[in-house]
Amino acid sequence: MKKYLDILSDMEQKMNEGQFVSGQKLPSVRDAAKQYGCSVSTITRAYSELTKRHAIYSIAQSGFYVVEKPGNRLDVPESKTTDFASAMADPGVFPYLDFQHCLNKAVDTYKYDLFTCGDSKGMESLRHTLVSHLAGDQVFAKAEQIIVMSGVSPALEILARMPFPNGNPVILVEQPSYDIYLRFLEAEGIPVCGIARTKAGIDLRELEEKFRQGGIKFFYTMPRYHNPLGTSYSAEERKTIARLASKYDVYIVEDDYMADLGEEPGLDPIYAYNGTSHVVYLKSFSKIIFPGLRLGAAVLPEKLLKAFCERKRYADTSLLSQAALEVYIKNGMYERHKRNIYSQYAARIRALNEAVRLHNDAGLLEISDIRTGVFVQFKLPQTVNLERLIERLASKNINVVSGKRFYLSDYLEREKFLRISISRAQPEQIEDGVWEIIDEVHREVKRQNTFKK
Ligand SMILES: Cc1ncc(COP(=O)(O)O)c(C=O)c1O
């Protein structure tokens, strides 16, 4: 008995000390039995316990491998560019090895079934797994209400095109808002109007007025880690939006594209405050795992299910991705990865805030108090020429995104800002990058002042 526990802790120690590294193949059961001078069954038991603890995983007909540890980064080639523009997850924090383990496990478990097309609503077992996964975020839904999508984007498109029970035509969007969706709505000629959202939040009286005036089919919103502002709504704002939705029969499309990328103690999604009648909750797995997985989930009020499913007749998401995600959630790897990615991004946001504190002594940048997520808005003086600023920064290998594109083409009350994303900015690049931005803004302001004289 003691022997087994000694072997188990010796193996764990080797992994902690780096003698067995992520992805490394462990000795075969027979070889390990020889090394430890014990029986094959003792090693089999130790490996099976380590598998249960998610320290190792098995690949059929190959052997046992060490699972990826938090903090283990893939070797991504170093770049001279400071990328404050890209919103994609950092490939250096992608959970490659863990996910590989889940893909193998998925194939082992589901075999041939994975290579069919499957149900257009998504894999039955994944939808059941998502019931408890979403409940962890206070999104309580039955499996029948959950549709597995190939990301949030196709769900947004279907919702824009389908009729809603309130019979209204107009989509209300925050200004600024997710640029790609705005361009989609404009290209499709779908009636859309805007309401200002700033770092201070949204004017709830104006929102009520818009809901009251009628004509609004749904209000598209990102309550947490708004793209591009980076801010989140307070509990009060969420509760009020939920209440107004029911009062005026306006639907809310809640885009939780950054779900799990941070902690918001005491803040639940709008869905949780609405009694589920008027809120469509959308969750993406692109930012937290990787975008190429193309997986997301739509949780729909019962009244919308039929119209939505009529427009989602095709099984457009691979069963392999779905089954691997199911394994990834069920075996606890998702939860662990979430903490890892969250702490890495939070450290980058801290570095960004610190750099602004150190170098923004003239107060040219206005930023909001953001601790988690990926985006921060750098609000600029109105006199700054944004295009020239961005070009000059690009010539210094600093990529940033203009705030302009996050507005509807005919929306006039715009703020002037840069959207800063930390998901691909490496921690060691952040301070210099922020310094350069502030320096260039200084030059811009000076240039304008000289021009005026
Ligand atoms: C606000 C917002 N919603 C949705 C998406 C797309 O999500 P998915 O990859 O799940 O389609 C993005 C992508 O950046 C986004 O910024």
pLDDT in tens, the chain (453 residues): 558 888 988 898 888 777 888 778 899 999 999 999 999 999 999 998 888 777 888 776 778 888 766 554 555 556 789 999 998 888 777 787 788 888 888 888 888 777 777 788 999 999 999 999 999 989 999 999 999 999 999 999 999 999 999 999 999 999 999 999 999 999 999 999 999 999 999 999 999 999 999 899 999 999 999 999 999 999 999 999 999 999 999 999 999 998 887 776 678 999 999 877 999 999 998 877 777 788 999 999 999 999 999 998 887 888 999 999 999 998 888 888 888 888 889 999 999 999 999 999 888 899 988 888 899 999 999 889 999 999 999 999 999 999 999 999 999 989 999 999 999 998 899 999 999 999 999 998 888 777 666
Q: Does ligand 1 have an atom closer than 6 angstroms to the CB of 87?
A: yes
Whole-model pTM?
0.85
Q: Does ligand 1 have an atom closer than 6 angstroms to the CB of 261?
A: no
CATH architecture of 97-330: 3-Layer(aba) Sandwich (3.40)
With a CB cutoff of 8 Å and minimum separation 6, the contacts of 339 are: 70
Q: What is the CA(14)–ligand 1 centre distance, in A?
A: 40
H or E element that contains 20:
none
Pocket test for ligand 1, best of 185, 222, 286 (most atoms within 8 A of CB): 286
- Point out the ligand 1 atom lying closest to the alpha carbon of residue 286: 9
Can you name the CATH fold of 336-452?
Aspartate Aminotransferase, domain 1 (3.90.1150)
Backbone φ and ψ for 217, nearest 5 degrees, come out as -80, -55
Q: Does ligand 1 have an atom closer than 6 angstroms to the CB of 27?
A: no
Q: Are 416 and 381 in contact (CB under 8 A)?
A: yes
Q: Does ligand 1 have an atom closer than 6 angstroms to the CB of 151?
A: yes
- Point out the ligand 1 atom lying closest to the alpha carbon of residue 153: 11
Q: How many CA atoms lie within 13 A of 103 on its CB side?
A: 11
H or E element that contains 383:
none
**Closest to 236 measured CA to CA, from 196, 188, 270:** 270
Q: Does ligand 1 have an atom closer than 6 angstroms to the CB of 291?
A: yes
Q: What is the CA(12)–ligand 1 centre distance, in A?
A: 39
* Rounded CA separation 171/251 (Å): 10
Q: What is the CA(286)–ligand 1 centre distance, in A?
A: 7
Q: Does ligand 1 have an atom closer than 6 angstroms to the CB of 296?
A: yes
pLDDT of residue 341: 85
Q: What is the CA(287)–ligand 1 centre distance, in A?
A: 8
- Point out the ligand 1 atom lying closest to the alpha carbon of residue 154: 11
Q: Does ligand 1 have an atom closer than 6 angstroms to the CB of 257?
A: yes
Q: What is the CA(157)–ligand 1 centre distance, in A?
A: 12
Q: Does ligand 1 have an atom closer than 6 angstroms to the CB of 222?
A: yes
Distances from the Cα of 287 to the Cα of 91, 228, 415, angstroms: 11, 15, 26
Q: What is the CA(282)–ligand 1 centre distance, in A?
A: 10
Dihedral of CA 404/405/406/411: which sign? positive
Backbone φ and ψ for 432, nearest 5 degrees, come out as -60, -40
* Rounded CA separation 353/371 (Å): 9
**Closest to 390 measured CA to CA, from 447, 444, 428:** 444
Cβ atoms within 10 A of the Cβ of 57, count? 21
Dihedral of CA 387/389/395/400: which sign? negative
Q: Is 74 helix (H, G, I), strand (E, B) or coil?
A: coil
Give the bridge partners for 57, in sequence order.
65
Crossing angle of the two packed helices 204-213 and 235-248, in degrees rounded to 10: 10
The CATH number of 2-66 is which of 1.10.3720.10, 3.40.47.10, 1.10.150.120, 1.10.10.10? 1.10.10.10
Q: What is the CA(180)–ligand 1 centre distance, in A?
A: 9
Report which protein residue has its CA nearest ligand 1's atom 7: 152
Q: What is the CA(245)–ligand 1 centre distance, in A?
A: 23
Q: Does ligand 1 have an atom closer than 6 angstroms to the CB of 152?
A: yes
* Rounded CA separation 202/360 (Å): 27
Asked whether the bond before 176 is cis by omega within 30 degrees of 0, the reply is yes
Q: What is the CA(339)–ligand 1 centre distance, in A?
A: 21
Q: What is the CA(153)–ligand 1 centre distance, in A?
A: 6
Q: Does ligand 1 have an atom closer than 6 angstroms to the CB of 178?
A: yes
Q: What is the CA(263)–ligand 1 centre distance, in A?
A: 19
Annotated domain spans of the chain: 2-66, 97-330, 336-452
